[in-house]
Structure 1
Amino acid sequence: MNAPIDLSMKTDDVLRVELEVFRRQHRDLDEAITALVDRGTSDQLTVQRLKKQKLRLKDIISLIEDRLTPDIIA
């Protein structure tokens, strides 16, 4: 997950599938973080690690969305 993402060689269809996978992973991490915090027995280090993963996924999602959204010149 730490490797840089190269979007230039992927087709839009592949990017759309990956986008859905990353969104699902992001949602799953959000639910896991919420469950850990709500349980009250969460390890802060684990929660921080999961939050970093979630932010990394959010960045990847943004990159893919930017790649899929055409530039509109005003």
Structure 2
Amino acid sequence: METPQDDLGERLASLRQQHRDLDGAIASLEKTGTGDQLQLRRLKKQKLQLKDEISQLEDQLLPDIIA
């Protein structure tokens, strides 16, 4: 039986993959110069949103360490 932690871990892995895919797409568009600036901005914004969601999930999975 899957636990909520397992679900979060799977979601986190999926988001990380999407983030890597977007990173590759952005790099490719920048390298070839075929992408318009609006498209690049949208991809970068989407990548930042994924990064924020990844950070939130990581915070849920890793308990805060009190120093």
Q: In structure 2, which of residues 14, 17, 22 is the aligned counterpart of residue 21 of structure 1?
A: 14
1:38 alignment partner in structure 2: 31
Give structure 1 regions of 4+ aligned residues with deviation exceeding 4 angstroms. Answer: none
TM-score (norm: length of structure 1): 0.83
- Segments of 5+ residues of structure 1 without an aligned counterpart are 1-9
Q: Secondary structure at the match of 1:42?
A: coil
TM-score (norm: length of structure 2): 0.92
Q: CA deviation at 1:42?
A: 1.4
Aligned residues: 65
Instruction: Tell me, in whole angstroms, the C-alpha distance in 2 between the residues paired with 1:63 and 1:26.
Output: 14
Instruction: Tell me, in whole angstroms, the C-alpha distance in 1 between the residues paired with 2:34 and 2:25.
Output: 13
1:54 alignment partner in structure 2: 47
Instruction: Tell me, in whole angstroms, the C-alpha distance in 2 between the residues paired with 1:71 and 1:49.
Output: 33
Instruction: Tell me, in whole angstroms, the C-alpha distance in 2 between the residues paired with 1:42 and 1:58.
Output: 22
Identity fraction in percent: 58
Q: Secondary structure at the match of 1:72?
A: coil
